[in-house]
Amino acid sequence: MEHPANRHNPNNITPRTTHFIKNRQLNSILTATVKVNLAETPKVPLPKKVPTKVDKSASPQDSVGMQQTVDWGRTAYREAWDRQLELVENRKAGGCADTLVLTEHEPVFTIGARQGAGDHLVWTQSMLESQGIEVVKTNRGGDITYHGPGQIVGYPIMSLRERKDLHAYLRELEEVLIRTVGHFGINATRREGKTGIWIKDRKIAAIGVAVKSWITYHGFALNVNPDLAHYAGIVPCGITDGSVTSLEQECEAPPLIGQVKSRLILEFWNLFGNRT
């Protein structure tokens, strides 16, 4: 008896046989496709292993050859001090380049390491509170000074390991500041026996630094347009034969603080870029 499936199937192929043939044809097509694709895919060579050379004689401080400038904006003094110390450790370990940090502080009187510096604080606690001025004792060099808005504070975090000459470093910071204000038409100079930058007997920039393992921190403060009335709360830097001034006071057309920052950065790296 004829199988029902063969009535319209002259080749006597069962559905099961058809399914087998179709699967076999599909496998053949897939195999051919894979072979073609593999043949058309370009061979990509494996990366070669490049040996790494380590100079064991080099100090981690010297492993970074570039410089950088960062602007912290407005900061509280204690916060900036903590961040400086973090950068010092990072620079010591070779984790960052020589760095110039710029900031403006909230109003603060900072007392340096010089003996008797605290005696030059004039205002009482109630007067300080009424003016919103903090007092912080620091480990930087120098006497008592003021920081506040309108004053550019610079904190160079740099390795002096190759030079080990703090006196030369101070003179070069002074030179950076002299060139910066000179760009705006101000003839500032050093003053015998005193740090900072002066226009005759008027101090326009203060300097007080520290070093740790020959990495510098703390730095300088340049008066652009701060509230000079705040200096009445101290004997600035212990000065008894001079006063304090600013670019706003000295210039016929006072520059914007951003303009002064730009010039300061340029003069700083022109002098320090190849010397640290």
- Does 251 qualify as catalytic in the annotation? no
- Measured distance CA(271)–CA(29) in Å, rounded: 73
Domain coordinates in residue numbering, the chain: 4-40, 60-272
Question: Residue range 191-214: average pLDDT?
Answer: 94
Position 153 pLDDT exceeds 80:
yes
> Cβ(107)–Cβ(150) under 8 Å?
no
Instruction: Please name the amino acid found at residue 254.
Output: P
Position 188 pLDDT exceeds 80:
yes
Position 55 pLDDT exceeds 80:
no
- Measured distance CA(103)–CA(149) in Å, rounded: 9
Position 38 pLDDT exceeds 50:
no
Fold of 60-272: BirA Bifunctional Protein; domain 2 (3.30.930)
Mean per-residue pLDDT of the chain: 82
In this structure, are strands 144-147 and 151-157 parallel, antiparallel, or unpaired? unpaired
Tokens of 173: 């910071």
Distances (CA, A) of 98 to 68, 223, 256, 273: 6, 24, 27, 9
Instruction: Please name the amino acid found at residue 267.
Output: E
- The candidate with the shortest Cα–Cα distance to 220, out of 136, 147, 142, 153, is 153
> Cβ(191)–Cβ(239) under 8 Å?
no
* Catalytic-role residue among 101, 237, 244, 264: 237
- The candidate with the shortest Cα–Cα distance to 106, out of 146, 155, 154, is 146
Tens of pLDDT, residues 236-247: 888 878 899 999
Lowest average pLDDT, out of 37-51, 94-108, 175-189, 192-206, goes to 37-51
For residue 242, what pLDDT is reported? 85
The pLDDT-based confidence of 273 (bands split at 50, 70, 90) is confident
Tokens of 220: 């300088």
CA 170 centroid distance within chain: 21
**pTM of the entire structure?**
0.75
> Cβ(221)–Cβ(230) under 8 Å?
no
DSSP H helices, the chain, are 15-40, 77-92, 125-131, 166-183, 247-250, 257-272
- Helix (H) or strand (E) holding 244, with range, is strand 243-244
Q: At what angle do helices 166-183 and 257-272 cross, to 10 degrees?
A: 140
CB within 8 Å of 222: residues ≥ 6 apart = 151, 152, 153, 154, 177, 180, 181, 197, 204, 205, 247, 260, 264
The pLDDT-based confidence of 193 (bands split at 50, 70, 90) is confident
Using the structure block, give the residue that is written with the tokens 């200096």: 231
> Cβ(88)–Cβ(215) under 8 Å?
yes
The pLDDT-based confidence of 202 (bands split at 50, 70, 90) is very high
